[in-house]
Amino acid sequence: MSIRFRKFKHGGSYQVYFNYEDCGLKKRYSKGGFKTKREAQAHETEMKNEILKNGKPKPKEKKTLNEVYKEFMEVAHMEYQYNSIRTFKYSHKHFKDNIGKMYIDEIRYSHLQSFFESRKNYGIEQNKNIRKTLNATFKHARRSEYITTDPLRDIKIKGIEKHQEKHVISEADYHRIKDELKNYNDFKHDSFSIAVSLAYLQGLRLSEICALEKKDIDLDKMTININKKMNYKSLRKKDVSVSHEMKSKNSKAVLPISNELANILKEWYQINPYEKIICYEDGNYMQPEIMTNTIRQVFKKLGIKGRFHDLRHSFISNGEAKGITMMVMKDLARHSSINTTANIYTHIEESRKREAIEIISNEKCVAKVSQEDKKIKTLA
């Protein structure tokens, strides 16, 4: 067989490969990236006819990095999740007018390192995403035999650390948020309130909450099966979809739920007749951006610092505050790495230090005022 199927995570592509002789020397021809077997067979026929006619296949067409990127994106869905593809699309604009115009087989380590050096004053996460995009593109280029080596391998990435501040939502503020949403007295805001509880009491991500169905929750066994998420970022309402491809393999889990959350859901089921747990009054999927915008406004009105995702962080911080071990919280939060959980624990500890120093400072102020009062009374 001179055609084989290369299997990827979400599909695969066909590759043509065969041996031939050039002036008595044995050589091998191969080219991959074909979406269908028919395309691969047509290319095989073309190349073998070329060898019969000229003694060797015609030289491969030189392609720019941009051209190879475009070719890669046509098959990216076979191997990468929606969020990764979204990252690739966003990152491409940062190199398309620079190294993107270079022929891919002429790109060297020095070109790439110089490119990233020029971006050292940009965010480190953005630069990492660009490297991720380039890495996937070069991987496709090697499979298609446009290049034989990886010029990205030893590249050093620099950039500015930009951390979005995490806020811990207190239990009192959690109830204030729910009360404010209930004041609207309509189905939509009641649905928002349930989403807040799922994030705060169970630590679910927004995309997981919006995809949740009643069949995922067993109120007899008191468990929740987290097995899908909603793809919605940068998409129009009609293009929003639910996928079983999660953020990581750890994201899928069957976990216990608390009595408090179970009772909240039982009450909600009396109001919500639909299979979807978070939805509009007509049963259609909720637009996550509409929900987060409303909750952001509620936070602002109540003077609460944070964003929707901080409800999930607060679930983790509450576990730490109540003495739950980091490893157990890692499993409950479904982090892929203990380091992610540790970073949140560290942030909590730093927040406590800041609170402690303020308390100490305030106590000093109170003590000073008390001493001054005593002096005044003595003089009197």
pLDDT tens, residue by residue, 250-267? 788 899 999 999 999 999
Name the pairing type of β-strands 217-218 and 223-226.
antiparallel
In 3D space, the residue among 190, 209, 211, 183 whose CA is nearest the CA of residue 198 turns out to be 209
Q: Is the pLDDT of residue 380 over 50?
A: no
What is the model's pLDDT at position 197? 97
Structure tokens at 279: 């939805």
* 3-class state of residue 248 by DSSP: coil
What would the pLDDT profile of 157-212 be if each residue is shown by its tens digit?
999 887 667 788 999 999 999 999 999 999 999 999 999 999 999 999 999 999 99
Residues 266 and 191 in one domain: yes
CA distance 274 to 162: 41
Are residues 199 and 293 located together in one domain of the fold? Answer: yes
pLDDT at 369 (0 to 100)? 46
Among candidate residues 313, 333, 353, the one where a domain is terminated: 333
Instruction: Examine the pLDDT at 297 and tell me if it is beyond 80.
Output: yes
Whether residue 126 is found in the same domain as residue 11: no
Residues 50 and 106 in one domain: no
Is residue 295 very low, low, confident or very high in pLDDT (cuts 50, 70, 90)?
very high
Four-point Cα dihedral 31, 87, 77, 66, nearest 10: -30
Are 44 and 72 within one domain?
no
Q: Which residues, listed in sequence order, are joined to residue 266 by a DSSP beta bridge?
A: none
- Are residues 31 and 110 both part of a single domain? no
Of 13 and 310, the one with more pLDDT: 310
Question: Do the domain assignments include residue 161?
Answer: no
Domain presence at residue 18: yes
Of 128, 143, 158, which residue is a domain's last?
143
Distance CA 211, CA 4 (A): 37
* The two structure tokens encoding residue 273: 């007749």
Q: Of 296, 311, 333, which residue is a domain's last?
A: 333
CA contacts within 13 A on the Cβ side of 198: 27
Question: To the nearest whole number, what is the mean pLDDT of the chain?
Answer: 85
Decide if 129 contacts 89 (C-beta within 8 A). no
How many structural domains are present in the chain? 3
Q: Please check whether residue 341 lies inside any domain of the structure.
A: no
pLDDT digit string, tens, across residues 34-84 = 888 888 888 889 888 888 888 877 666 789 999 999 999 988 887 887 778
What are 113-130's pLDDT values in tens digits?
999 999 999 999 999 999
Q: Are residues 257 and 238 in the same domain?
A: yes
- What's the chain's length in residues? 380
Domain that holds residue 22: 3-54
Flag whether pLDDT at 376 surpasses 50. no
Report residue 374's pLDDT band, with 50, 70 and 90 as the boundaries. Answer: low
Please report whether residue 160 resides in a domain.
no
Do 186 and 80 share a structural domain? no
- Residue 280: CATH number of its domain: 1.10.443.10
- Distance, in Å, from the CA atom of 256 to the CA atom of 10, rounded to the nearest integer, reads 31
Are 48 and 178 in the same domain?
A: no
311 and 182 housed in the same domain:
yes
Distance from C-alpha of 287 to C-alpha of 278, rounded to nearest angstrom: 10
> 192 and 134: one domain?
no
Residues 81 and 212 placed together within one structural domain of the fold: no
Q: How confident is the model at residue 235 (pLDDT cuts 50, 70, 90)?
A: low
Which of 30-44, 220-234, 301-315, 342-356 comes out lowest in average pLDDT?
342-356
| pLDDT band (50, 70, 90) for residue 296 | very high
Q: Residue 17: inside a domain, yes or no?
A: yes
CATH number, domain at 83?
Answer: 1.10.150
Report if residue 43 sits inside a domain: yes
